[in-house]
Chains A and B, each alone.
Chain A
Amino acid sequence: MAEPTPSAVAPDLGAGERLDALPPQSPWRMFWRQFRRSHLAIGGAALLIVFYATALFAPFLAPYSQEAMDRDRFFHPPHRLHWIDAGGGFHLIPFIHPTRLADPASLRFEEDRSRIVPVRFLVRGSSYRLFGWLGSDRHLFGVEPPYRVFLLGADPAGRDVFSRLLYGSQVSLTVGLLGLAISFTIGLLMGGISGYLGGWVDTVIMRSTELLLSIPGLYLIIALRGIFPTQLPSQQVYLAIIVILAFIGWAGLARIIRGMVLSIRRQEYVAAAEALGMSRLRIIARHILPNTLSFVIVAATISIPGYILGEIVLSFLGVGVQEPAASWGNMLGQARNPRAIVSFPWLLFVPGSAIFLTVMAFNFLGDGLRDALDPRKVLGGKTG
């Protein structure tokens, strides 16, 4: 009586077979199918890949080192690349006209159209080590000394802005990421412990986050900067900025994670893990926090611009990365007074465009990730 008839089983089997025929839907696959629909996010990701690759190869791509000064060419405007010479002849490889200082008072440079300095590729210049070990003195492009090519102009000390932009990206694009990585690790752990353990631990952690969140962000950043000496070697400044950014950012995340953990810990599998005698830290790290992963990924991507801007603001104010080392922030700082911006606009536009594009790319990427990962969908525990 209880045995089902063959005719009742058959349609179920059929349905099962049809389901098997579909490609397996791993979470990663579902994510990718959704993500690639967002053209802006793909574009943002592509731009960021280009930026980070440029930062990696900066010593090779930059024609000069970030410290190389040119005492004859302070505030030199960007060189114009020419393809057609004064006689009307066409050059496949562009060239520049050498310049001379026409008016020392206003720092106006004039091109000498009778002479031609061709741009050369893989020229010898200052030596460097790529990735810390690959020594070389070849640069992607350059001109014969004593001439110099300033693709994006020169700064107040006669240093090449293009080269400094590339070297600066090594600092500005990484310091925020490292700060964020540390800050999010602390935030995850604090939020996880606070939500799972409760009691006085919860109270202490939550009161600390309230304290940190009650101080306006920039005030806290600058107050924290005060505990390090003003003049520091650039590597130590780099570490100091990471510490500052890490200290600031964890509080907001910890509060959100705590809320999520409070709801996750009531799930049955957590009770099961407890019944099996797992340690509490292990339950937090292995069973609870992974469920917040997609939210954390999205939150991290959206927060990156804030961390990058933290370094930029500090360096802009003159208390971050110190010259001669370049960062996008201290390059922007050279454009602080109105006279400099009016006469030498490239000092503002070059680092400004780089910052703008980076922030926009991260915003696009974050939006795309949010749509593809949709934290609300994952919170139910299906794909986590």
Chain B
Amino acid sequence: MRTYVLRRLFQIVPLLLGISMLSFALLQLAPGDFLNTVAENPTVSAERLEAMRRSFGLDRPWYVQYGLYLKNLFLHFDFGESFARHQPVIVILREGLLNTLLLASAAAVVTWGLAIPLGVWAAVRQYSWVDKGLTVFGVIGLSIPEVLSGLLLLMLAANTGWLPVGGMRSIDHDQLDTAGKTVDLLRHLALPALVVGFTPLAGRMRQMRGNLLDVLRLDYVTTARAKGLSENVVVFKHALRNAINPLITLFGYTLGALVSGSLIVEIIFSWPGLGRITFDAIMTQDQYLVLGSVMMASFVLILGNLVADLLLAVADPRIAYG
């Protein structure tokens, strides 16, 4: 088991290297560079432009640029500097990643906090109107893409004024005390988290329902019932634990989906996360910020899959990794 984990961890390095190579190649294939937009500005002289090109290192051939990038990355853990923001990439990414992870965790709370109870409810009332209603709800949920549910909730917020329509903090955030700051953050977090968490909800709910129904048909559950235990004890104490097990392992895989899914939601709700940073960076060809953010997002995805594989082994003793 430990060798397996170590091997998987070591595999991340060449994978990230490959991702950086692919991203760099895409940036090189793209027409022009960051300075194209600067060049359109009439107040910037040709000499100034040339000086900027030299200081950004964009005058050198691509292999020198990439080699220097890798050298700085491996020797100094230096991700370079953003052209547009004049800040180290690592500083921008750290904040963006934190915001995205905050959004993803809140979304995970929404997904699992709703999927498990609803799935159990549908299973214990199989074929009732509750079950059928939740099935319809699940079908509709599966068919609403994030971009649509995001806009719908944005409309709700704008119409009612209950919740802010975007951003992460109110204008008067700095004047608030700690409790006020937390409430303010949660109010901004609520809608994006609901949107990101809603998409995987339907699938997880169906899985929870199916798992519990499978377990309820097993012999030991019949035994428990035959002993005269109450239905509540049978379901919640005996069956539920075994039914939840397979879902826990899915948690890691969901993390990757949540990071990817949050990109569009971050843009709709102006949430200052990794997705928005990446989108802006790609559009302005802010080279090193693109490289860093794509690698960072991929790292989260890879780590999520690793955690999922490990949880699978922990939850199911039949699986052994060598």
Residues of chain A having any CB pair with chain B under 8 Å: 207, 210-211, 214-219, 222-230, 305, 309, 312-313, 316-317, 319, 332, 335-336, 338-339, 341-342, 345, 348, 352, 355-356, 359-360, 363-364
Contacts and interface: CB of A to CB of B under 8 A. Distances in A.
Contacts, number: 122
A210 B16 CA distance: 11
Contact of B155 (A228, A319, A348): A348
Given A218-B275, A317-B279, A363-B143, A356 B19 contact: no
Interface in B11-70: 15, 18-19, 22-23, 26-27, 29-31
Contacts of B152: 348, 352
11 contacts: A216-B260, A219-B278, A219-B297, A226-B30, A313-B147, A341-B155, A345-B155, A348-B152, A356-B144, A363-B143, A364-B139
Contacts of B293: 219
B143 A219 contact: no
A44 to B, nearest CB: 10
A359 B22 CA distance: 31
Contacts of B142: 360, 363
Contact of B301 (A215, A228, A312, A336): A215
Contact of A342 (B155, B275, B290): B155
A227 B32 CA distance: 10
Given A222-B279, A360-B139, A360-B143, A215 B151 contact: no
Of A207, A218, A228, A305, most B-chain CB atoms within 10 Å: A218
Contacts of B31: 227, 229
B256 A216 contact: yes
Interface stretch (B83-91, B232-240, B261-269, B310-318): B261-269
B260 A219 contact: yes
Contacts of B298: 214-216, 219
B175 interface: no
Contacts of A305: 143, 145
A352 B157 contact: no
Contacts of B158: 338-339, 341-342
Contact of A335 (B23, B145, B151): B151
B136 to A, nearest CB: 11
B308 interface: no
Contacts of A345: 155
A219 B145 contact: no
B282 interface: yes
A316 B145 CA distance: 13
B148 interface: yes
Nearest to A367: B139
B15 to A, nearest CB: 6
Main secondary structure, interface of A, reads helix
A317 B267 contact: yes
A227 B279 contact: no
B154 interface: yes
B97 interface: no
Contacts of A352: 148, 151-152
Nearest to B294: A219
B259 interface: yes
Given A316-B264, A338-B166, A352-B151, 11 more contacts: A214-B15, A215-B294, A219-B278, A219-B293, A227-B31, A316-B147, A345-B155, A352-B152, A360-B143, A363-B139, A364-B139
B283 interface: yes
Nearest to B158: A338
A336 B152 CA distance: 11
B302 interface: yes
Contact of A313 (B151, B166, B264, B282): B264
A230 to B, nearest CB: 8
A243 B148 CA distance: 25
Contact of B19 (A211, A309, A335, A348): A211
Given A219-B275, A341-B151, A226 B282 contact: yes
A335 B155 CA distance: 9
B278 A222 contact: yes
B230 interface: no
A259 B158 CA distance: 49
B111 interface: no
A37 B19 CA distance: 47
A336 B256 CA distance: 26
B15 A211 contact: yes
Contact of A348 (B151, B275, B282): B151
Nearest to B261: A218
B26 A215 contact: no
Given A335-B151, A359-B145, A224 B301 contact: no
Contacts of A363: 139, 142-143
Nearest to B15: A214
B91 to A, nearest CB: 20
B140 interface: yes
B213 interface: no
B82 interface: no
B3 interface: no
A226 B27 contact: yes
B19 A332 contact: no
Contacts of A225: 282
In order of increasing CB-CB distance, the 4 nearest A-B pairs are: A216-B260, A338-B158, A360-B143, A227-B29
Contact of B154 (A218, A229, A341, A355): A341
Contact of A332 (B147, B267, B285): B147
B154 A338 contact: yes
